[in-house]
Amino acid sequence: MEPIELSLFASRLQAICEEMGTALRRTAFSPNIRDRLDFSCAVFDTKGQLSAQAAHIPVHLGSMAFAMSGIVECLDPAPGDMVILNDPYLGGTHLPDVTLIAPLFHGTEHCGFVVNRAHHADIGCATPGGMPIATRLEDEGLVIAPQRLMAEGSLLTEVLDWLIRTTRDPSTARGDLAAQIGANRCGLERLGVSVAGLGPGRYRASLDDLNDYGEGMARTALARIPAGCYRFTDWLDDDGQGQEDIPIRLALTVSAERVHADFAGTAAEVPGNLNCPLSVAAAAVYYVFYCLMPRETPACAGAFRPITLSAPEGCLLNARRPAAVAAGNVETSTRIVDVVLGALAQALPEAIPAASHGSMNNLAMGSSAMGTDAWDYYETIGGGMGAHAHGPGLDGVQTHMTNTRNTPIEVLETSYPLRVTRYALREATGGRGRYAGGRGLTREFQFLTPTSVTVLGERRRYAPWGLAGGGDGQRAVTLLNGTPLPGKVHLTAAPGDRLTLQTAGGGGWGPVCSARNDYTAHPIVESPSSERSDMDAMERIKQTIEGNPVVIFMKGTPDFPQCGFSMRATEALRACHVDFVHVDILAEPEVRQNLPRYSNWPTFPQVFINGELVGGCDIVLDLYQSGELQKMTDAVRNRAAARQEVEA
């Protein structure tokens, strides 16, 4: 297939996955799927090899890419079938993640599968929210081995009734499953059009070409990693059942042919639910290396061919039935990412960030009643992102293995007997350094009725580490009415009680310093400065604007802008071939707070030339397109050249 045709083919497959996700989101009943977007969609070939996926949840997609081939070997697909499963030891991740698989046929010829996976807060668990502190898989909810939910296009009502019977809110569970069925039908329809247009033979050949292309892109990216064996160890705090300081050890071997992640020496299975199947470990490993590949690398099986992993059977990362796994999918997968990044930082110190906040900060709650008074809610809470060689970490975001949104407060308060009394960035929690780690979050809930609450969190004992001399991020804290709680706890809250989750900050990067770097655009300050007074900030703003011909106050850095407006404004300045100083307002909150005293421009970026405010992104782009920006920057260079001649 020609390169342009191949690109269009890959884009069509990805668009099918994205449309499936849109259909699922718009028809789901629960806020967890509808608002938090805790779901994923993908397309697979007849052998269960990944063909395409949307940019949904990394832990869902990587685990499906690893385990799907084993699932399809057990299936006997027929037109109109739809298979449901959640068994972590038969292709799932943890019980709340329910997977629906639908085969595509062109006539009588089997051509592939469409798949979606969505998180159900109520999966028949005795504890509301579906994330208990359990010791056995069966205690975590209903275990669904792969079985037909639909046959020959008809819903198997006895199977659906069996599933719904275990839930506290049958109408929501029924609605979410119907949404998943609808999403797969949407995918079948769209993929069927593509297969019919190409013909089954050419479609399969195109998939082969796509996988070969993906493998080539992956090998080119991985070849940039120096060959060697890189070792790293990080720890989980505890399993909620009394076992603490749980190590995850990695020996990462990089050669010209492949990358192999060996987790020998990792802790054995634990009594609590931090265990995970090997597919979850694979998802974390795949995620890290996919981040190192170019953006245009297709998310297909070929891209993961050079990457292998192993973990001893019966260890934390390759658990055996009936070990509990609810937190393994969320907390352990997140720590595996930290371990892989820690190993890679030895090989690629300029490319790898410091540790992010390192926990999904799982909060599950609800009422144990059945019927109309029942409710289940689950969310994950973001924190600080790790800083890197090119800029600070982001504040208050979901990182790595989760890609969900937060539930809007308005939705949360109208759907459940809760009040959100505080939701804010947690100041001074990012690790210090040349670039500061991102700040964590504070999220506080007040309960209006008696509520069953489960918290599954990490980084309460082991802080997110910094890199290259950067400081560690602040650890997370959980409080009930101001009293500290363990990181993993189940409790019953009374009306009026307040639960506060304070999430960790990201690690810092590099030692604290103020030296200018070698980039064309020079940051003026590169260390956290919350201790400085407003007067100091005003003086520094004034000196920066008056002491440099061209200055841009922006979000992020020119090499790693954190918003599209900042990116386009810096691109315009670079196109004029002029040196400029940048100030990252995300790393310098006191500058952001005090700049309005010097400038009346309401948004960022803000560009100053020769001490005068030019304006924001739109004005800079208008000036660039008219040629006026080039004239202004030419004048800057001419004056600089004239000064140099006088000094000479």
- Provide the pLDDT for residue 524: 35
Instruction: Say if residue 233 is in the same domain as residue 363.
Output: yes
- Strand order across the 451-456 sheet: 375-379, 362-367, 451-456, 488-493
Residue 510: inside a domain, yes or no? no
Residue 591: inside a domain, yes or no? yes
d(CA 425, CA 443): 9
**Boundary residue ending a domain (194, 215, 236):** 215
**371 phi and psi, to 5 degrees?**
90, -145
β-bridge mates for residue 53, sequence order: 42
Neighbours of 391 (CB within 10 A): 25
Q: Which two tokens stand for residue 451?
A: 């509520």
Residue 511: inside a domain, yes or no? no
Instruction: Say if residue 465 is in the same domain as residue 483.
Output: yes
Instruction: Say if residue 160 is in the same domain as residue 227.
Output: no
DSSP conformation letters of 528-596? --TTS-HHHHHHHHHHHHHHSSEEEEESB-SSSBSSHHHHHHHHHHHHTT--EEEEETTT-HHHHHHGG
Q: Is 330 helix (H, G, I), strand (E, B) or coil?
A: helix
Neighbours of 272 (CB within 10 A): 24
* CB 115, CB 101: distance < 8 Å: yes
Helix (H) or strand (E) holding 625: helix 617-626
The CATH code of the domain that includes 615 is 3.40.30.10
Domain count along the chain = 3
Residue 472: inside a domain, yes or no? yes
* CB 98, CB 84: distance < 8 Å: yes
Residue 402: inside a domain, yes or no? yes
**Boundary residue ending a domain (179, 198, 215):** 215
β-bridge mates for residue 581, sequence order: 522, 551
Residue 165 structural domain? 3-215
Instruction: Say if residue 378 is in the same domain as residue 295.
Output: yes
Instruction: Say if residue 334 is in the same domain as residue 441.
Output: yes
Instruction: Say if residue 642 is in the same domain as residue 616.
Output: yes
Q: Which has the closest alpha carbon to 361: 406, 317, 427?
A: 406
Q: Which two tokens stand for residue 122?
A: 């109520």
End-to-end alpha-carbon separation of the chain, Å? 61
Q: Which has the closest alpha carbon to 361: 494, 235, 485, 493?
A: 485
d(CA 639, CA 521): 19
Instruction: Say if residue 145 is in the same domain as residue 287.
Output: no
CA atoms within 13 A on the CB side of 267: 23
- Provide the pLDDT for residue 302: 94
Helix (H) or strand (E) holding 647: helix 628-647
Residue 62: inside a domain, yes or no? yes
To the question of pTM greater than 0.85 for the whole model, the response is no
- Provide the pLDDT for residue 517: 34
Instruction: Say if residue 172 is in the same domain as residue 44.
Output: yes
CA-based angle 204:209:211, to the nearest 5? Answer: 95
Query: Could you tell me the mean pLDDT of each successive run of 10 residues in the chain, 648 residues long?
Result: 88 94 94 89 94 80 80 90 94 91 96 94 88 93 95 95 91 95 97 96 96 95 95 96 96 94 97 95 94 90 95 97 94 97 95 96 86 82 95 93 85 93 94 94 96 96 95 96 96 96 96 46 35 64 89 87 83 88 85 79 88 88 88 88 72
- The amino acid occupying position 207 is L
- Provide the pLDDT for residue 371: 58
d(CA 434, CA 354): 12
Residue identified by tokens 């008809």 is: 154
Instruction: Say if residue 556 is in the same domain as residue 438.
Output: no
- Provide the pLDDT for residue 210: 96
Instruction: Say if residue 308 is in the same domain as residue 398.
Output: yes
Instruction: Say if residue 392 is in the same domain as residue 480.
Output: yes
**Boundary residue ending a domain (215, 230, 251):** 215
d(CA 150, CA 592): 56
Q: Which has the closest alpha carbon to 226: 355, 353, 388, 346?
A: 346
Instruction: Say if residue 153 is in the same domain as residue 11.
Output: yes
d(CA 611, CA 313): 65
Residue 597: inside a domain, yes or no? yes
Residue 327: inside a domain, yes or no? yes
DSSP conformation letters of 139-165? GGS----SEEEEETTEE-HHHHHHHHH
Q: Is 82 helix (H, G, I), strand (E, B) or coil?
A: strand
d(CA 379, CA 396): 15
Neighbours of 378 (CB within 10 A): 25
| Orientation angle between helical segments 564-575 and 628-647, nearest 10 degrees | 60
Residue identified by tokens 């593509």 is: 194
Q: Which has the closest alpha carbon to 252: 177, 320, 344, 179?
A: 344
